[in-house]
Amino acid sequence: MERAVVLGGGGVTGVAWEWGLLAGLARRGVELAGADLVVGTSAGSVVGAQWCAGRGVREGYEAQLAPPEGEVAARFSVAVVARLVWAGGRGRDAVRARARIGAMAVAARTGSEAARRAVIEARLPVRRWPARRLLVTAVDAASGEFVVFDADSGVSLVDAVGASCAVPGVWPPVTIGGRRFVDGGVRSAVNADLAVGARRVVVLAPTTAAFGPMPRVSAQVAALRAAGARVVVVSPDRVARAAIGRNVLDPARRAAAARAGWAQAASVAGEVAAVWG
């Protein structure tokens, strides 16, 4: 495998920033569309599913600039963040930590699965798994097991993306085959280690946050490099962070985040091109 693109989590503003960055890179001659593998976690699963299904990066970017009419802003409340840190930050056993977060997610009072599924479904222009290899990450809420969905998993693309985006305490866990799943970001903000075997890896990481026993992005990248890969990680710069703001689940910040990604592409295009070849 030659090239992989890893798209990390980061809420609705993460979706927007990633589209802006992808479009801005393409505008500067750095086309990542030739990736042999795309790894999508949470927000990255939305972008990855749309992109692999054929949505152009310019189209994806411009969609983020539209007014967020009818979209409801969610928020990581202080209470939700505190419960996440308390559940996931105790001990050194990552699987048990994820199971505690899963239990918290199952017990949380959120909207219905059906309503949330309709939102995810509306975001995907194509409902079938794309021909390009796409990996979508999630976590089993009961066991804490890390799960990777793909075209051969027997799970619909809508359900896989919905599971990957099921932010604990904010959105309901997704039921698939009698099991319930939560956000793939519970395991890692980017899950870059799934790109092992690729010689060239571009990681777009709206956030690199980690707590407790969660694997650090830096450690995952170091392992890829130790295996012989050339890797570049792009995260929001100072201007992009300001545009994104404090609430990554606020659709009103989407356009600003997308424009910031587009602008940031100018400063990182050379570094990304050097790795991508």
Residues with catalytic function: 42, 183
Q: Which of 154, 173, 170, 152 is nearest to 162 (CA)?
A: 173
User: What does the chain come to in residues?
Assistant: 277
DSSP-derived pairing of the beta strands 37-40 and 3-7 = parallel
| Other beta carbons less than 10 A from residue 79's beta carbon | 10
3-class secondary-structure state, position 111: coil
Q: Which of 162, 170, 219, 169 is nearest to 196 (CA)?
A: 219
Q: Which residues face 38 on adjacent strands? A: 5, 134
3-class secondary-structure state, position 126: coil
| Other beta carbons less than 10 A from residue 238's beta carbon | 9
DSSP class of 129: P
Give the C-alpha separation, 103 to 189, whole Å.
Answer: 20
The CA–CA distances, whole Å, from 79 to 47, 68, 95, 98, 186 equal 29, 26, 23, 18, 17
